[in-house]
Copies of this chain bind each other. A is one copy, B any other.
Amino acid sequence: MTTDLLAKNDRLAGELRARLHLDGIAACNLIGAPGAGKTTLLEHTIRRLSDVPITVVEGDQATDHDARRIAATGARVVQVNTGTGCHLDAAMVTRALSALKPEPGAVVLIENVGNLVCPALFDLGERAKAVIFPVTDGEDKPLKYPHIFRAAGLVILSKIDLLPNLDFALAEAIDNVAKINPDAAILQLSARSGQGMTDWYDWLRSQFAAARQSAFA
């Protein structure tokens, strides 16, 4: 990773953030390892928040599977394929939003490439980064992947419906998040069972409301 590359990305991300701010658009950068439950969370969110204008940028190395799943919900979506690339960058998101043209006051949900490492370094002009941390992983993930947890405004403990079948130490996991990032909000949910989803919807609405307010004040 060259410093030049990161500096160029930071510049583009700054421009994108300024544009989104002017239009009162709340962009959320959703980060998690492959299989953390990112797309499933988006499907439920779009179907439930039918009063919120949501557009989606889908990042994957290959296939348009996720974009097709999102399109089936009725939301506008662009799939970005990164090839061997391991993260989305601000240029990709800028191009995707030029195609999507989200309306002023919209919510843009950006699903990053499934990776708990590289996306930490690349600012996408988002309002917040949300990290999905499934309880099927180990409790020590925040300590072992500190960069991404430190960058997150929200940490979502996902797949909690499986807790009775696992040896996952929930309190220790929450403690590990707090050790790395005491300011992060922490939610627990399961898209499959519905547990905790209201907290996530409330968090997303608060982001949406704050973006509108700051733009149209």
- A: which residues have CB within 8 A of B? 1-2, 33-35, 60-63, 65-66, 84, 86, 113-118, 120-121, 134, 136-138, 140-141, 143-147, 159, 162, 165-167, 192
Contact = CB atoms under 8 A, between A and B. Distances in A.
Instruction: Report, nearest first, the 9 A-B pairs whose CB atoms are least far apart.
Output: A35-B137, A136-B136, A86-B117, A33-B33, A165-B165, A86-B118, A34-B116, A33-B34, A63-B143
A134 B137 CA distance: 10
B141 A34 contact: yes
A132 to B, nearest CB: 11
Contacts of A34: 33, 116, 137-138, 141, 144-145
A115 B116 contact: yes
22 contacts: A1-B84, A2-B2, A33-B34, A33-B114, A34-B116, A34-B138, A34-B141, A34-B144, A34-B145, A35-B134, A61-B147, A62-B145, A63-B143, A66-B144, A114-B116, A114-B144, A114-B145, A115-B115, A115-B116, A115-B117, A136-B136, A167-B192
A65 B147 CA distance: 17
Nearest to A61: B145
